[in-house]
Amino acid sequence: METAAPMAVQEFCDAWKNAFRAVLESLGATGLVCAWTAPLSNAAVSPLGENAISTRFHVGRGLQGAAVWVCQKSTAVQLAQLLQMEPLDSAAAFTSIHRLAFAEFLRQIARQVAATWKIQTGNEIDLTIIDPAAAPRLLGAQAAVLEMKSERFPPLSLQFFLDPALCSALAAGPLPKQFAETPQIPASADPQFNLGATPNLALLLDVELQATIRFGQRDMLLREVFGLMPGAVVELDQLVNEPVGLFVAGRLIARGEVVVVDGNFGLRITEVAVANQRAALLDL
């Protein structure tokens, strides 16, 4: 890292920090404090241990290299619970559902980073999650510690590692266009996040399911149906101030309030089914 430009590397790290802040605030983390508590330095790598989880990103297109996030499973559980709008419980067992939700949380962070990096530098980058079963390559990496706390959760710490190739790429600046448009993705990269014990689940994540917002319902006689005409009012069984339901593949997964977004109706989620209930969609 001796030849790397500290400013470029720090800007890349700050893009991640700011992305964490933006996503957490969108999830309702009020009074949020998000800061690097340890400066960027040569990584002192130690075994991760059974209570830690690592998530490695391949960085491609305008940059080349890898970035790795490492945290305790209790931290990953709480961030997964936050994404799923569940009560936070750091003592909860780390399950494949938590792994999936934590990966999606980091994927949202990465999308924010890529968008910010393009605005700041005019340089497009790809951030792709690598198979978590692969051991993170931290030899010679630079590392920093990100700490977050808010009124919703106690201090949570994550370690951030940038491998030497990424540091060198940041120091060198954007890749020439002919290389930037043909990113080299390692064969172990899995954009849909391999879940280890349940690898086939990743294959289902792009399956389209019909989502329906239900304001209410009522039973009608056939003669009433034939009697409908313009101006007729059909009274439903739901009060005006009651939340409406979001059904996916016919199953209730969330409730919320109706909003208008750019001239279209939308649903602001206020309640969401627990992870096990949403995982029941896999039985379809």
**pLDDT at residue number 227:** 83
**pLDDT at residue number 132:** 56
Q: pLDDT tier at 6 (50, 70, 90 boundaries)? A: low
Which region, left, alpha or beta, applies to residue 22 given φ > 0 means left and ψ of -120 to 50 means alpha?
Answer: alpha
Q: pLDDT tier at 97 (50, 70, 90 boundaries)? A: confident
* C-alpha dihedral, 181 to 186 to 188 to 192, nearest 10°: -10
CB 77 within 8 A of CB 90: yes
Fold annotation for 208-283: Surface presentation of antigens (SPOA) (2.30.330)
- Sole residue written with tokens 């692969």: 134
**pLDDT at residue number 12:** 92
Query: Higher model confidence: residue 155 or residue 236?
Result: 155
pTM: 0.61
Helix (H, G, I), strand (E, B) or coil at 225: helix
Give the model confidence (pLDDT) of 165-221 as tens digits. 888 888 886 544 433 443 443 434 433 333 333 445 555 666 677 788 887 788 888
Q: Check residue 59 and report its DSSP letter.
A: E
Give the model confidence (pLDDT) of 34-91 as tens digits. 999 876 777 655 545 678 888 999 998 888 889 999 999 999 999 999 888 888 888 8
Residue-level length of the chain = 284
What does the domain layout of the chain look like in residue ranges?
A: 6-202, 208-283
Q: What are phi and psi of 187, to 5 degrees?
A: -60, -25
**pLDDT at residue number 78:** 93
The superfamily (CATH) of domain 6-202 is CheC-like (3.40.1550.10)
Check whether 277 has a pLDDT greater than 80: no
Q: Residue 234: exposed, middle, or buried by beta-carbon count in 10 A (0-12, 13-18, 19+)?
A: exposed
Give the model confidence (pLDDT) of 104-148 as tens digits. 899 989 999 998 898 888 888 989 888 655 555 566 678 889 999
**pLDDT at residue number 148:** 94
Give me the half-sphere count of Cα atoms (radius 13 Å) on the Cβ side of residue 226.
3
Helix (H, G, I), strand (E, B) or coil at 18: helix
Helix (H, G, I), strand (E, B) or coil at 143: strand
